[in-house]
Amino acid sequence: MQWNKFVVFLCLVFLSLALPSRAELAVDVTLGVDTEIPIAIVPFGGMQPGENLGSIIAADLHRSGRFKVLPDSQLPERPHTPGEVQFAAWKSKGQDNLVIGQVKATGTDQYSVEFELFDAVRGSQLANSSLSFSAAESRRAAHRIADLIYKQLTGEEGAFATRIAYVAVSPANAAKVRRYTLQIADADGFNPQSIIGSPEPIMSPAWSPDGKKIAYVSFENKRSAIFVQSLTSKDREKVSELPGINGAPAWSPDGKQLAMTLSKDGNPEIYIMTLANRSLRRVTDHFGIDTEPAWSRDGSQLVFTSDRGGKPQLYSVSVNGGQPERITHEGDYNARGMYSPDGKSLCLVHGNGGDYRIAVLDLASKQLRVLSSGNLDESPSFAPNGSIILYASQNGEKAVLSTVSSNGKVKGNLHTAGGEMREPAWSP
The phi and psi torsions of 74 (rounded to 5 degrees) equal -105, 5
Mean pLDDT, rounded, for 341-347: 97
Indicate where the chain has its CATH 2.120.10.30 domain(s). 6-28+162-426
Band (172; pLDDT cuts 50, 70, 90)? confident
Indicate where the chain has its CATH 3.40.50.10070 domain(s). 34-154
3-state helix, strand, coil in the chain (%, to 5): 10, 45, 45
Q: Which amino acid is at 266?
A: G
DSSP strands (E only) in 163-256: 163-169, 180-186, 193-198, 202-207, 213-218, 225-230, 236-240, 246-251
Residue 417 pLDDT more than 80?
no
80 DSSP β-pair partners:
none
359 DSSP β-pair partners:
348, 370
Q: Which amino acid is at 85?
A: V
Query: Is the CATH code 3.90.1150.10 the one for domain 34-154?
Result: no
- Cα four-point dihedral sign 15, 389, 183, 213: negative
Q: What is the pLDDT of residue 19?
A: 32
Band (199; pLDDT cuts 50, 70, 90)? very high
Q: Which amino acid is at 353?
A: G
Mean pLDDT, rounded, for 100-108: 97
Q: Of 171, 173, 174, 236, which is closest to residue 208 (Cα–Cα)?
A: 236
Q: Of 428, 418, 427, which is closest to residue 19 (Cα–Cα)?
A: 418
CATH fold of 6-28+162-426 reads Neuraminidase (2.120.10)
Predicted confidence (pLDDT) per residue in 116-162, tens digit: 999 999 999 999 999 999 999 999 999 999 999 999 999 999 999 99
More confident residue, 179 or 261: 261
